[in-house]
Structure 1
Amino acid sequence: MRFAPIIITVFLLASGTVLNAQRIIYSQPGNDDTRRMNFEVIGKVSGNFLIYKNSRNKSYVSVYNNEMEEVSKVEQDYIPEDKLINVDFFAYNDFSYIIYQYQKKNVVYCNAVKVDGNGKRASDILTLDTSHIGFTASNKIYSTITNENKSKLMVFKINSKNKSRFIITTLLFDAELMLQKRNQFTMDMEERDDNLDEFNIDNDGDLVFVKFNRNNNETINRTILFWKPAAVDTVTAIEVPQDKILLDELHVKVDNSNKRYFLTSFYYTKKRGNIEGFYFYVWDKLSRQPILQNAVALGEDIRNDAKGDANIKMAFNDYFVRNIVIKKDGGFVINAESYYTTSRNNNWNRYNYLYGYPLSTYDYYSMYSPYYSNWYWRDRYYNNQNVRRHADNVTILSFDKTGKLEWSGVIHKEQYDDESDDRISYLMANTGSQIHYLFNVDERRALLLNDYTLSPGGELNHNPTLKNLDRGYEFLPKYGKQVSSYQLIIPCYYRNYICFAKIEFN
């Protein structure tokens, strides 16, 4: 693995206060914490840091104190060892929900358990729903999502047995997992070209998602935004006008402050053409009207800065939207990263990802997505040793509430890895007054974690070297998690083991 030197370029600078990372504390790896272990950072609960670990098909919750000492490792023996399908975590101040799916004979169960800050079960097992399946059907039935303030949880499933008419079932729960509403509705589908994606709920419990048509598994030529208010049984379809443009990968973000839904995508003007810019569509649920529809072409200056080794017309062809930050005034910041793979035989880029592997209409989370980072799929990246994975420049763009570009900046980086994509890409952390970008840089054959900050006015700063960086540790930023306004937990490789580091900002 090699990383090129980092250069920062910003088009519009404004003054800002720099928050520097103050210290890093590492945990000691356990005997079973090998690199093949599946894990997920749950969060900060009752002052402790909880981390889920799955080793030899057994599930554990490790509890770390403020000095990252493992004070306990509690086996979650209610989770089946050999029939586990998926597990999700929703952390609150003094407890966390573990919602897990497993199959027993031809029945898939979706269960929930509350664990406390010591990793111990603090409730009875609650069965949220069950489904009978055929022996040839996919058993990944349920998906679970939450809203921004965690006041609601939704479990939903999509029955696609009838390929032209899907049945969608939603179960809306409050923060105590009391069922608020169960709904079932149908969705007409064209078997080959229609897809469902981007399921979100807002702080009122309203569901929003998209249905799109990717003609011949290529660019999107039709998009419909669906809105189902929490208290009603009907679903409202909102046609998203595309005029004469074609859309790429769709992203939906809930703007709870302004009660709006924000949809964006890269766009093309012709089939298999170059990415021209961003398309924006904002729908206001109070007026039930669109308040923004705009296609913003990316100009020559930013293309020159963002292009890397590509020519200016193809500058954004390998970029993927990574993060969307909604501002209180209705504006938004978009982070996009250049991501692609190369091999001796061919390059794996946007066309392979979007066109060669369309999103499934049933399991709408795609393992082929370059940013799908669920623990369940992490070790799948080790299977192909002949592929080099690249994560290059990060382009940051700020738009006002009308969709007008305010400023933009580029973090120039070149990362690649021949083993897996665990150590490339970055972690974003929003501390309120600034946004941090953390990623590895190769310095004298050692990977060192670097920290860049973005001020509200668009100023990018490279912070001083993080304190307590140890050259024996290799960070996995993309699997890290922000667990409080000023604390991050990031997994690390240490020799042949996995450990965890806590980073605190001042």
Structure 2
Amino acid sequence: MGHKKIIISALMMLALPIWVLAQRIHYSDPGRDDYRQVNFEIIGKVSSNIVIYKNYRSKNDLSIFDNEMKLKDKINLDFLPDKLINVDFVPYPDFFYMIYQYQKRNIVYCNVVKMDAAGQKLVGPVEIDTTQIGGASDNKIYSTIYSEDKQHIMVFKINKRNERNYFFTTLLYNDKMEFRKKSRLQVTMSKKDAVFSDFIVDNDGDFVFTRCSRNGSRDNISRMDLMIKPAMADSFRVNDIPLTNNFLDEVKIKADNINKTYLLSSLYYKQRRGNVEGLYIAIWDKAQNRVKAENYTIFNDELKEDAKSENTSAKTAFNDYFIRQVLPKKDGGFMIVAELFFTSSRGNNWNRYDYLYSPYSMSPYSSYNSYWSPYGMYGNPWNRWNYGSSTRYYSENIALFSFDPNASIEWSNILHKSQFDDNSSDALSYLIYNTGGEINFLYNQLERRVRLLSEQSVTPNGSVKRSPTLKNLDKDFEFLPKYGKQVGARQVVMPCMYRNYICFAKIDF
């Protein structure tokens, strides 16, 4: 009898529509004040709740959703000041930290508060640091980064005294926000046209970035140093990495905490402002304090032909690609994800160098004797921006590259997509979610004048699998994939537009 029940249950499961087994989507109800212009950040899954921060003008709220995206509570963060400059979040399984900064007269304050899954204060607000500035300013001064295991949290600021002298102040905390170390360090640039890479803190609490030099303010990188400040040290270890007469684009750095290495990557050129030739890779070994492996991978004609945009030649195929992610693998190898992105404007030609070295990039342009924020506003939903009403945005193919622990390429492939929009890039690009066995990409694809959420996945050997358009989609909701977040093993939360309102969808795969 028991065997019959099992067989009947199995047959019933097979009879279900495929989309029931593939994914479930729950939408939140848009609130009356969740206008299109609202700033937001998906903090993540805290205990059993989905917690989302929202800001509109001087109003700051936490929306607490249940597992079906029903609003459980809306918490008014009345302890936050009206003139808030920036907010960062460090989420944990059952609580999160909110680190925020604001200005009062000529003082910028940086505070932290610990909150639970219901949006209630557990500790704080507690003042972390203050900075005196000259005159009125709404610029972000403090930046917050944290290690992959979230055992180290760093708040830092950079004071630019002149074109060649930068003074770093770093504040290191543990996962309980207990103070560990404060350091003040000077970084001198050999040339005034300098640029930094991403800033990271690894699982040992070490602060790491690259210092790069260019031959001009809109030129390629011709020199690079790897800067490492050990957690409890008060100085940088400066490591020159020769580029052998090649020129780099934007340098990306990622900590491989399992294998104790730093992964450096960039698109590269053989001549200044020429065409992109391939990928530069360097693997820095922490224990041996040296470059463990290095490689210049040249893109072949077949790959260029597959990667190019419709109106470009194979020779210039990668000129508008940008490295978006560096994904370490357990064996010491890693995967690089790059995306084709460009814009067109009336009377203005698209310029890669203006995009890279704008005020929103890692290029330290600011007035003398002022504080400079390395992250600016690009890519942060809390400060979405665009070029203006006459701009069309294009977000197209995704290039994937897998490298072994010796920096040699294992495989490459192209995920084909075609996206464009006028006035805003919010609905373009993609969201990555990792299921362990595959890397999955979610993005909008235009079908019959309607943007539908589509999916492609990549296996460890580089095979690309295109899934059917996601089912059970409500056509009245337009997804904003690049602002989404993976909150579980097979679960993502993604913002979407409903008419002129922001709401959120939870997708279970």
- TM-score, normalization: structure 1? 0.92
| One-letter amino acid of the counterpart of residue 375, structure 1 | P
CA distance in structure 2 between the aligned counterparts of 1:198 and 1:436, rounded to whole angstroms:
24
The answer to whether the Cα contact below 8 Å between 2:191 and 2:213 also exists between their aligned partners in 1 is no
Give the match for residue 147 of structure 1: 147
- Cα deviation code 1:342-392 (max 9, x no counterpart): 12213324233236667442222244xxxx2213321x32x6111100001
Report the secondary structure of 2:354's partner residue: helix
Show the 5 A alignment for 1:126-205: 126-135=126-135, 139-190=139-190, 192-205=192-205
CA distance in structure 1 between the aligned counterparts of 2:356 and 2:271, rounded to whole angstroms:
16
Give the match for residue 365 of structure 1: 375
CA distance in structure 2 between the aligned counterparts of 1:261 and 1:334, rounded to whole angstroms:
14
CA distance in structure 2 between the aligned counterparts of 1:287 and 1:296, rounded to whole angstroms:
24
Give the match for residue 368 of structure 2: none
Give yes or no for the alignment of 1:377 onto 2:383: yes
Report the secondary structure of 1:492's partner residue: strand
Give the match for residue 328 of structure 1: 330
**Offset at 1:138?**
6.5
- Cα deviation code 1:77-123 (max 9, x no counterpart): 11111x21110011101001110000111111110011111112121
- Cα deviation code 1:396-427 (max 9, x no counterpart): 11111122221111111211001300011111
Give the match for residue 397 of structure 2: 393
The alignment of Structure 1 onto Structure 2 pairs a total of residues equal to 480
CA distance in structure 1 between the aligned counterparts of 2:343 and 2:22, rounded to whole angstroms:
32
- Cα deviation code 1:250-292 (max 9, x no counterpart): 1000010010111110000001100000111111111111101
Show the 5 A alignment for 1:91-490: 91-135=91-135, 139-190=139-190, 192-217=192-217, 218-309=219-310, 310-354=312-356, 359-361=362-364, 362-367=372-377, 372-378=378-384, 380-381=385-386, 384-490=388-494
| One-letter amino acid of the counterpart of residue 482, structure 2 | K
Give yes or no for the alignment of 1:59 onto 2:69: no
CA distance in structure 2 between the aligned counterparts of 1:182 and 1:122, rounded to whole angstroms:
25
Report the secondary structure of 1:347's partner residue: coil
| One-letter amino acid of the counterpart of residue 241, structure 1 | P
CA distance in structure 1 between the aligned counterparts of 2:200 and 2:358, rounded to whole angstroms:
26
- Cα deviation code 1:413-468 (max 9, x no counterpart): 21100130001111111121111100001111211100111111112112233232
The answer to whether the Cα contact below 8 Å between 1:25 and 1:468 also exists between their aligned partners in 2 is no
Report the secondary structure of 1:353's partner residue: helix
The answer to whether the Cα contact below 8 Å between 1:340 and 1:347 also exists between their aligned partners in 2 is no
Residue segments in structure 1 that go unaligned for 5+ positions in a row = 1-18
Give yes or no for the alignment of 1:85 onto 2:96: no
| One-letter amino acid of the counterpart of residue 496, structure 1 | N
The answer to whether the Cα contact below 8 Å between 1:163 and 1:190 also exists between their aligned partners in 2 is no
CA distance in structure 2 between the aligned counterparts of 1:205 and 1:482, rounded to whole angstroms:
25
| One-letter amino acid of the counterpart of residue 291, structure 1 | K
Closer, same or farther in 2 for the Cα pair 1:499/1:132, shift >3 Å? same
CA distance in structure 2 between the aligned counterparts of 1:299 and 1:261, rounded to whole angstroms:
27
Give the match for residue 17 of structure 2: none
| One-letter amino acid of the counterpart of residue 260, structure 1 | T
The answer to whether the Cα contact below 8 Å between 2:283 and 2:293 also exists between their aligned partners in 1 is yes
- Cα deviation code 1:219-245 (max 9, x no counterpart): 001111101111222210011110110
Report the secondary structure of 1:160's partner residue: strand
| One-letter amino acid of the counterpart of residue 491, structure 1 | P
**Offset at 1:213?**
0.8
Report the secondary structure of 1:313's partner residue: helix
Closer, same or farther in 2 for the Cα pair 1:112/1:366, shift >3 Å? closer
CA distance in structure 2 between the aligned counterparts of 1:56 and 1:354, rounded to whole angstroms:
29
CA distance in structure 1 between the aligned counterparts of 2:491 and 2:351, rounded to whole angstroms:
34
Give the match for residue 44 of structure 1: 45
**Offset at 1:195?**
2.6
The answer to whether the Cα contact below 8 Å between 2:396 and 2:418 also exists between their aligned partners in 1 is yes
- Cα deviation code 1:33-55 (max 9, x no counterpart): 11111111011001100000012
Moved more, 231-240 or 344-353: 344-353
The answer to whether the Cα contact below 8 Å between 1:26 and 1:68 also exists between their aligned partners in 2 is yes
CA distance in structure 2 between the aligned counterparts of 1:48 and 1:256, rounded to whole angstroms:
29
CA distance in structure 1 between the aligned counterparts of 2:411 and 2:163, rounded to whole angstroms:
45
Give the match for residue 8 of structure 1: none
Report the secondary structure of 1:216's partner residue: coil
- Cα deviation code 1:17-45 (max 9, x no counterpart): xx984111111000001111111101100
- RMSD, aligned CA: 1.7
Closer, same or farther in 2 for the Cα pair 1:139/1:385, shift >3 Å? closer
CA distance in structure 1 between the aligned counterparts of 2:411 and 2:166, rounded to whole angstroms:
43
The answer to whether the Cα contact below 8 Å between 2:263 and 2:283 also exists between their aligned partners in 1 is yes
| One-letter amino acid of the counterpart of residue 432, structure 1 | G
**Offset at 1:65?**
0.1
Residue segments in structure 2 that go unaligned for 5+ positions in a row = 1-19, 365-371
CA distance in structure 2 between the aligned counterparts of 1:125 and 1:63, rounded to whole angstroms:
20
CA distance in structure 2 between the aligned counterparts of 1:385 and 1:210, rounded to whole angstroms:
35
How much identity, in percent, do the aligned residues show? Answer: 47
Report the secondary structure of 2:453's partner residue: strand
| One-letter amino acid of the counterpart of residue 342, structure 1 | S
Report the secondary structure of 2:455's partner residue: strand
| One-letter amino acid of the counterpart of residue 478, structure 2 | E
| One-letter amino acid of the counterpart of residue 325, structure 1 | L
- Cα deviation code 1:273-324 (max 9, x no counterpart): 0000011111111111110121111111111110122111101000000111
CA distance in structure 1 between the aligned counterparts of 2:24 and 2:112, rounded to whole angstroms:
36
The answer to whether the Cα contact below 8 Å between 2:106 and 2:136 also exists between their aligned partners in 1 is no
The answer to whether the Cα contact below 8 Å between 2:456 and 2:464 also exists between their aligned partners in 1 is yes
Report the secondary structure of 1:85's partner residue: strand
CA distance in structure 2 between the aligned counterparts of 1:100 and 1:475, rounded to whole angstroms:
28
The answer to whether the Cα contact below 8 Å between 2:282 and 2:407 also exists between their aligned partners in 1 is no
